[in-house]
Amino acid sequence: MADVTDVGTFRAADYTAHLFDLDGVITPTAEVHMRAWAQMFTDFLSSRGSSTPYTDQDYFAYVDGRPRYDGVRTFLASRSIELPEGEDTDPSTQPLGEETVRGLGNRKNDLVLDLIRTAGVQPYPGTVAFLDALPAAARLAIVSSSRNAREVLRGTGLLDRFEHIVDGNVAAQEGLPGKPAPDTYVRAAELLGVPLGETVVYEDAVSGVQAGADGRFGAVIGVDRGVGHQALSDAGATLVVADLEEIT
């Protein structure tokens, strides 16, 4: 990775390609996902009579940045709860006692879409300013665990800025493991035709920063939207900022 130690030593123009996570980096939809996960898991645990509530720390530790069904599995494993895997088509309204991993994931997705359609989505102003300041020749892609990335981007008016979107749908179609594995980020760089060393990853989740660090990209910029500066640094971020406007 490049020797990036503070905002004064990072120059976006030094890199050819820029790979952005969506939720929490481009849009504040990470907050929407957080609310949906909390509602889904709180309802699920309550139905099982659990005395240990779901918390924000559970979100950051087991769910944040991971593909939807991986997040379900990881959280359930933390509580020693085993459920059948189920199918992608499992209804989100499964009766109590008949839940599956994928059914719970689908329930969470329905909640997210309801929240997005109700409140709408606006991109972070600092991120838009950063995108506007990038060189015209910069190559841009989105790398998101979400299967709704294209719909969210279209709603922000930013869809046309990105040459490629490697989201949860692409990962499933191509058999790519999700974050914290680096494969989806590596795939985006391949699609852009840019060497990893000339590419920057922008992430707000520990799992995403780990993916960037393990992929040995030119730099990994952690965006602290709540997980914590130290957690992102420990995961391998070469630089952590509160907002991308800091490095515009």
Instruction: With beta carbons less than 8 A apart as the criterion, state whether 235 and 64 touch.
Output: no
Is 23 designated active site?
yes
What letter does residue 226 receive in the DSSP assignment? Answer: S
Is 214 designated active site?
no
Interior/surface letters 64-86, b for 16+ CB within 10 angstroms, e for the rest: bbbbbbbbbbebbeeeeeebeeb
- In order of 46, 64, 104, 224, the CA distances from 111 in angstroms are 17, 16, 11, 25
Q: What are phi and psi of 224, to 5 degrees?
A: -85, 100
Catalytic residue, from 3, 23, 58, 90: name it.
23
Angstrom distance (rounded) from CA 95 to CA 53? 21
Catalytic residue, from 3, 6, 14, 21: name it.
21
Cβ atoms within 10 Å, residue 9: 13
List active site positions. Answer: 21, 23
